[in-house]
Chains A and B, each alone.
Chain A
Amino acid sequence: MSETVPEERWGAERSNESRRPAISVRGLTKTFGDFTAVDGIDFDVPRGEVFGFLGPNGSGKTTTIRMLTGTLRPNSGSADVLGEDVVRHPDRVQRRIGYMSQKFSLFEDMTVDENLKFYAGVYDLPAARFAAQRQYVLEMADLVGRENELTRDLSVGWRQRLALGAATIHEPELLFLDEPTSGVDPVARRQFWDLLYDLASRGVTLFVTTHYMDEAAHCNRLAFIYRGRIIAEGSPAEIRSDHMDQRIFAITTSRADPALQWLETAPGIDEAYLSGASLHAVVPADSSLSEAGLRDRLATAGFADAQVTEVDPTIEDVFVNLVSRQR
């Protein structure tokens, strides 16, 4: 397997295990003192999928990743990663996985080449394979000709892509990405997701955490974690249909703040919150409220310029709904 082109090598030695999930977690629990960061979660990540692990900050995403990557011991429960018990044999798992955090984790006082050389050495890559991988990463990150620049001098988008290259220099079968797009501009985020799709198309399983709900749509499967528990799991479509039995109205008005206050207490409306530039009002599925009806009520309440449109629930709507039910 050492002299093939990179495109083909990705995904090697996978066929015999392809039916087993890449990650299988049962009753995984981690406490820090009195605080239960992860509370008996169960989930499976099938091979070759882009799995989105969603939740607000502090909900247990990073703690879960740290247990799955073998850097944190759970208090109880089991976690099988790539067919190995990661709690008992983290070293067997660690050479087959990749990890990239929101900090991009490059040595900033080292050059592009030195960073790649270091991570290749860590995984003990043979020289020929390193040469091929290095070339692939440089092209992927658009850094050909800039090999001797210090990574601290690269701008965010390049640093992010280089970090992805460094994290995948050993061609892992499974890649963990902890908030990989936080602090990156929208264009770079889109380019980055293209690279992730590229990896996924080669059969690499991706485990991505994010608190950007719009990124959830990029995933094959999602799990919502909230206060250490998984509160919903499935494909984006499943999650929308299983957990959303309510209707959503999008409202735009010049006086969003008082309108929001009014909606929060208005009878017949379950929930109201800001979503992007508009307000979302949630009503029960069997509500007889129409766009025009709501607009009239808003006008009566003093919001004459209000525009009301019924919209399909987004993943964010589902998530807000789920969280409010938990409270």
Chain B
Amino acid sequence: MSLKRIRLLIWKEFIQLRRDPLLIRLLLLMPVLQLILFGYVVAVDVRNLSTAVVDLDRTATSRSLESAFSGSGYFTVTRHVGSENDLRPLLDSGTVKVALVIPEGTQDRLTRGETAPIGIIVDGSDSQISAIGSGYAAQIVAQFNTERRDALGIQLAAPGIDARVRVMFNPTLDPINTMIPGLIAAIMMISLLAIMSQAVVKERESGTLEQMFVTPIKATEYLIGKLTPYAALATAQMLLVAAGGMLWFKVPFNGDFWVVLTGLALFMLTCLGLGLLVSLVSRTRHQAQQAVMFIMIPTMVLSGFIFPIQSMPAIIQPLTNLIPLTFALQVLRGAFVKGSGFEALAVPMLALVGFGVVIFGAAIVATRRRISE
């Protein structure tokens, strides 16, 4: 193995990267764009859910209940309507995501010590909004009950509506705190899979791969020369996302730097391996693109990156264990949000070791065999 030739291959790779201005812009823009998308769009939606109120009670109690909702910051009351029938079109059109219905006689029932039912309608077409929205609503109602009881200073026979949502992590339910750590891993996967596989396939298409193996370049030298620049590139992108998330979106980092680094390094092996495998099975860049889509779509859907695994059907949930990103997310979110250490994250870490060894190992063996076949 010649260090000189490896340096030469890396030099060549960076020159080629530099010659692709569109690619460089994409590489820089992608993390920024995703930060904005996942940072602002997701965060704003859940924070200011547009809400309609149907107040049929028109009492001090109903008014204070409404202000408990609007004062929470999660709900913004945008409409007042006279009857429940008027809600349907508003929900159908997406004008409001949540509706609060306070029936006539709510104050009277509470005064008599009875349970007072109120209606909270959440737009279920977006599972994210419905899950988080109903959780917030239940919390607000519970809090309202408690305050009222405390103010009266008496024990009431009926507790009112006792819907308490327990949130396992991210107690503020701020989605950006889990989104940014996930984005770091997802960005790496996209970069290494899509861009590296393209680079290898391009070399095969143009015949330069074939040419290089007639020269003294060894398969190992070629692999190191190919993997290093893209690993460096992915690292730069991850730093960009992490910096943007922590400085701009104030995502707290409660964890151990080494946990994050270990998790990312292990996941990087998997990504490099997948990128190589894609380039092995693809004869054209177009095929490589399709292969990357084939991997990325189930990864994005099943890993818990966008949709919480807990909200998936029980039959689907075991499948998420086949997705390497699932475990990378567990490590990163655990470290960022909960400050978990190596012990607490032993299972996902070991899973990442397993994926890394198997996928990266298989890719190296297959690539070497293909090259020297």
Contacts and interface: CB of A to CB of B under 8 A. Distances in A.
Given A109-B16, A110-B12, A124-B4, A104 B216 contact: no
A130 interface: no
B214 A122 contact: no
13 contacts: A70-B214, A71-B371, A97-B214, A99-B214, A105-B207, A105-B211, A107-B208, A109-B16, A122-B8, A122-B215, A123-B216, A124-B216, A176-B214
A270 B259 CA distance: 80
Interface string B207-230: 110111111111000000000000
Contacts of A114: 12, 15
A297 interface: no
A72 interface: yes
B206 A105 contact: yes
Given A97-B214, A99-B214, A103-B207, A110 B4 contact: no
Given A71-B372, A118-B8, A105 B208 contact: yes
Contacts of A104: 207
A102 B8 CA distance: 25
A121 B12 CA distance: 11
A133 B295 CA distance: 47
Contacts of A102: 207
Contacts of B368: none
A12 to B, nearest CB: 19
A167 B211 CA distance: 9
Interface string B152-164: 0000000000000
Contacts of A103: 206-207, 210
A69 B212 CA distance: 11
A105 B210 contact: yes
A221 B207 CA distance: 28
B150 interface: no
Contacts of A105: 206-208, 210-211
Contacts of A118: 8, 12
A94 interface: yes
A121 B215 CA distance: 11
B25 interface: no
A103 to B, nearest CB: 3
A123 B373 contact: no
Q: Is the interface of A mostly helix, strand, loop or mixed?
A: loop
A94 B16 contact: no
Interface of B: 2, 4-5, 8, 12, 15-16, 19-20, 206-208, 210-218, 371-373
A121 B8 contact: yes
Contact of B214 (A69, A106, A110, A124): A69
Nearest to A65: B214
A231 interface: no
B215 A119 contact: yes
A109 B19 contact: yes
What are the 5 tightest A-B residue pairs by CB atom distance, in nearest-first order? A103-B207, A105-B211, A99-B214, A109-B19, A121-B8
A122 B5 contact: yes
Nearest to A114: B15
A108 interface: yes
B19 A121 contact: no
Contacts of A110: 12, 15-16, 19
A271 B365 CA distance: 52
Nearest to B207: A103
Contacts of A95: 215-216
A70 B373 CA distance: 10
Contacts of B5: 121-122, 124
A97 B4 CA distance: 20
B12 A107 contact: yes
Contacts of B20: 109
Given A95-B215, A122-B215, A167-B211, 13 more contacts: A71-B214, A95-B216, A97-B214, A99-B211, A110-B12, A110-B16, A118-B8, A118-B12, A121-B4, A121-B8, A122-B217, A123-B216, A124-B4
